Copies of this chain bind each other. A is one copy, B any other.
Amino acid sequence: MTTGPAAGDALAEVLSAGGADLSSALERTEARLAEVAGGHGPELGRHALGTLAAGGKRLRPVLVFVCAPSGERAEDLVRAAAAVELLHMATLVHDDVLDRAPLRRGQATVFAAGGREAATATGDLLFSRAFGELTLAGEPEAVRALSSASSALARGELMQRADAWSEVVTPERYRERCELKTGALFDAACRLGALLGGAGEEAVTALSRFGSRIGLAFQIFDDVLDVSGPSERTGKPRGTDLLDGTITLPLILARGRDPELAGLDLRSVVTEAAQAEALSDRIALTGALGEAREIALGHVSEAKAAISDLELPDERRRALDRVADGVVERYA
């Protein structure tokens, strides 16, 4: 249940579909993130800037910009984009503490470099700055949306940990968890872009739904990748979710297809990397990955359907479609 490799090509296409505006908006977001991360004392700056430098797709900022009908409030949109990314980073930093993760995207985590104290405080700072940034945009409804997403993230995180090693996680419960843990912030990113870009009420609702579904698909594909690999592409061994007891859709579906898998106690059976790889193979053999993929594709279709009735300029619809397709490409 970690974030996977960049959907580089799709993002490049979104950038070109969005034109120079989107590229420059993302550059400004990057500059703003560096400013925020570096502006709160040397101790935190070191860790926060490292987290930033580790990069990532900046998919949530992209969503902010492509969902804004107008770039008139460019400064506020940049703040919103920075805010969603800061919140995302905050959760990653805290996740790494909980997972005692040494590396993220090939770089030492704050946890590894500075210890859990530094990482907890850095995460808290990033949380604070997310709200601080967004508040500057002067749109209370936007802050409410971020706050609600932030609560959802915490709930999703807790739900995931509560369900660790469980033998009875249903697809519905998995979906709810993904909606909380991933969908909510994608939803908020789209909502923020729409709100600050001056979209009408109907468009705000439609774009939020678009974001939520994209987030759901994104998470499912990510969970499929953890099982399917290849590890050269994902940058991590296969089956890491199995190793830490995170029950994802591929395993849930495979359990329904293979009674022996259903009876398996992960905690005792998967204790090292080779076993996780072997179980990954076994899950793949059941055909569960294809089924999970179909479910994710269904969410992508729902995302597109959510905005099909909106009147959008061709260029923006193209950009939104490319974002949706980019999520699919992660799997291809």
Residues of chain A at the chain B interface (Cβ within 8 Å): 40-41, 43-44, 90-91, 94, 97-98, 115-118, 120-125, 127-129, 131-132, 135-136, 138, 140, 143-144, 146-148, 150-151, 153-155, 157-159, 161-162
Chain B residues with CB under 8 A of A97 = 120
Q: Top 6 closest A-B pairs, CB basis?
A: A132-B147, A128-B150, A125-B154, A117-B161, A121-B158, A124-B154
Chain B residues with CB under 8 A of A43 = 155, 158-159, 162
Q: Complex formed: what's the CA distance from A90 to B135 in Å?
A: 20
Chain B residues with CB under 8 A of A151 = 40, 125, 128-129, 132
A241 vs chain B, min Cβ distance (A): 15
Q: Complex formed: what's the CA distance from A157 to B138 in Å?
A: 29
A154–B94 touching, CB < 8 Å: no
Q: Complex formed: what's the CA distance from A123 to B91 in Å?
A: 12
Chain B residues with CB under 8 A of A148 = 132
Q: Complex formed: what's the CA distance from A301 to B192 in Å?
A: 46
Q: Complex formed: what's the CA distance from A126 to B230 in Å?
A: 39
User: Who on chain B is nearest to A90 by CB?
Assistant: B124
Known contacts A143-B131, A143-B135, A144-B132; is-contact A118 B161 (Cβ 8 Å): yes
Partner of A159, one of B41, B143, B154, B157: B41
Q: Complex formed: what's the CA distance from A121 to B161 in Å?
A: 10
B147–A135 touching, CB < 8 Å: yes
Known contacts A151-B40, A158-B117; is-contact A135 B144 (Cβ 8 Å): yes
Chain B residues with CB under 8 A of A98 = 116-117, 120
A128–B154 touching, CB < 8 Å: yes
